[in-house]
Structure 1
Amino acid sequence: MSQETSHNLPPKRMRESRAIKASIVLPPDTNNHNTMFGGKVMSYIDDIAAISAMRHCRQRVVTASTDSVDFMHPIRLGDSICLESFVTWTHKTSMEVFVKVTAEDLMTGNRAICATSFLTFVALDPDNRPILVPPVYPESEEEKFLHETASERAKVRHDRRSQSRELAEKFVLKRSWEAL
């Protein structure tokens, strides 16, 4: 909890940022395989993660990155989709949020974890400048695991962002327009 001394905000429990959202999968939510559109799931993930981030810092937030969305099981027409999210780690102005997506066959009661994701949000002040966020601390075993492994994910994010910047420099906007 070294962050507490770095910016004097009291730490918060991870569970204070927990958010849960459930919905039934209807025909407009599905593709030609009668499974939920991946983009729709991704939209739900970003939405619930933003709620958790705002609950944690009580500020407006912006999505800084989505590490990954790993789809493991299809979500079928008529299933219930349930998303659960909470802040797992914080830095000065940023927060890592974990999202778990579960589907339930409402006729049989069978459930499966369908996707997991980590996103990073930055808290913003009224002038849209990054603002300090409170530290977070874990209590449950699940929370402790996610908190303890967060610094590894942060390093991967940092390295990936550097690679993305290098790639962007190679493909300047001017060159893209020349191809048209």
Structure 2
Amino acid sequence: MSMSTPLPEARLLEMVFPDHTNHLGTLFGGQALAWMDKAAFIVASRHARRIVVTARSEEVNFRVPVREGQLVELVARIVSTGRSSMQVEVEMTAEDPLTGDRRVCTTGRFVMIALDSNGSPTPVPPLPEA
């Protein structure tokens, strides 16, 4: 019996502390982007087994605010590959640690590029067959 291979994925958990928030007590957008980029970097590095850099972030949607004291879970998945590029979708979910209430708060797409030892774009493996 054959099972389909899941898309390459990375999961990270972060806690929202006061130094991550603005004057309203909600997560800075720049901090959310930094965590999302970190998740994209990890999944792309693992897939390519190369040095990777961010080429582009796009379609970032801030849906609901994330409050101080909440947990955030980031799930990054490679959804397609090019010759040296990887499209990574990242979903960030906020969770109230006391009630367990979870909501998708931010989504985005990142393009990561694999580099060789000279800093030039280098081929990446294709995604596994489904």
Is this a same-fold pair by TM over 0.5? yes
Would you say how many aligned residue pairs link Structure 1 and Structure 2? 126
- Between the aligned partners of 1:46 and 1:34, the Cα distance in structure 2 is 22
Q: 1 CA distance for matches of 2:31 and 2:66?
A: 11
| Alpha-carbon distance in 2 for matches of 1:118, 1:92 | 18
Q: Is the 8 A contact 1:14 1:86 kept in 2?
A: no
**Matching residue of 1:20:** 11
Matched, 1:79 2:62: no
- CA shift, 1:108, in A, is 1.0
Which residue identity lines up with residue 69 of structure 1 in the other structure? Answer: V
- Flag the structure with higher helix content: 1
What is the identity, as a one-letter code, of the residue corresponding to 1:23? E
1:63 aligned residue (22, 35, 54): 54
Which of the numbers 26, 29, 38 marks the counterpart of 2:20?
A: 29
Matched, 1:136 2:127: yes
Identity of aligned residues (%): 37
Instruction: List runs of 5+ in structure 1 lacking aligned partners.
Output: 1-12, 140-180
Q: CA deviation at 1:68?
A: 2.3
Unaligned runs of 5+ in 2: none
What is the distance in 1 between the residues matched to 2:101 and 2:129?
Answer: 29
Q: Is the 8 A contact 1:14 1:136 kept in 2?
A: no
Q: Tell me which protein shows more strand as a share of its residues.
A: 2
Whether 2:97 is the aligned partner of 1:96: answer: no
Q: Deviations over 1:57-77 (max 9, x none)?
A: 100011111112100011001
- The structural deviation recorded for 1:46 is 0.7
Structure with bigger RCO (C-alpha 8 Å, 6+ apart): 2
RMSD: 1.2
Distance 1:23 1:92 in 2: 32
What's the offset of the Cα at 1:49? Answer: 0.2
Runs of 4+ in 1 over 6 A off after TM superposition: none
SS across alignment from 1:136? coil
